[in-house]
Amino acid sequence: MTGFQEAGYIFSQFDELARAKLALIFAVHLAGMFALFRMAATQPTSFLQRVPMLVTSRTGSLASATALAMLVAGCSIAVGRHSGVATVLFLNAGVISLYVIEFTILLGRGFFKRLLDDALQPEIRFAISFIVMVNAGYFTLMILKDVLLSDQLGVR
């Protein structure tokens, strides 16, 4: 039986399980940030266009995403050693919510605008986009929660 109370501190000892958990945290944030940066590169009105290093080239996007994912993973290590699993989940939930907000705006201005054309008002398009991205963020967070609370490698 594992839960928040029984889980205790994570990343205090770097065994295979802790390395696997950390690798998943890094991979989730790397994939999310890289996809976000490449998606922002296609839309000139994106907020991320203000930082040219993030969106001008794939190499720059990958390097920036890698650095930011390493920063989030490093913060997860520090938080996990001193505060426990719940705080690591809150940290990752905060970062994932930033993705959700930016993805919502990008999808509302790009994909759903082309998909729905002018059939719907912009507010409804953004509401649909927000619902889609909140669900994606929720399921990503639930995967992270299940992995961080696991006590063994592999599938049961």
In order, the DSSP letters of 57-122 are -HHHHHHHHHHHHHHHHHHHHHHHHHT-HHHHHHHHHHHHHHHHHHHHHHHHHTHHHHHHTTSS-H
State the average pLDDT over residues 57-73. Answer: 92
Which pLDDT belongs to residue 155? 63
Quick: pLDDT tens for 94-151. 999 988 888 888 888 888 888 877 777 888 888 888 999 899 999 999 988 888 888 7
Quick: pLDDT tens for 25-47. 899 999 999 999 998 888 887 88
The residue that leads in pLDDT, 16 or 135, is: 135
Which pLDDT belongs to residue 34? 94
The residue that leads in pLDDT, 16 or 13, is: 16
pLDDT confidence band for 6 (50 / 70 / 90): very low
Distances (CA, A) of 14 to 6, 102, 135: 19, 34, 32
Which pLDDT belongs to residue 63? 93
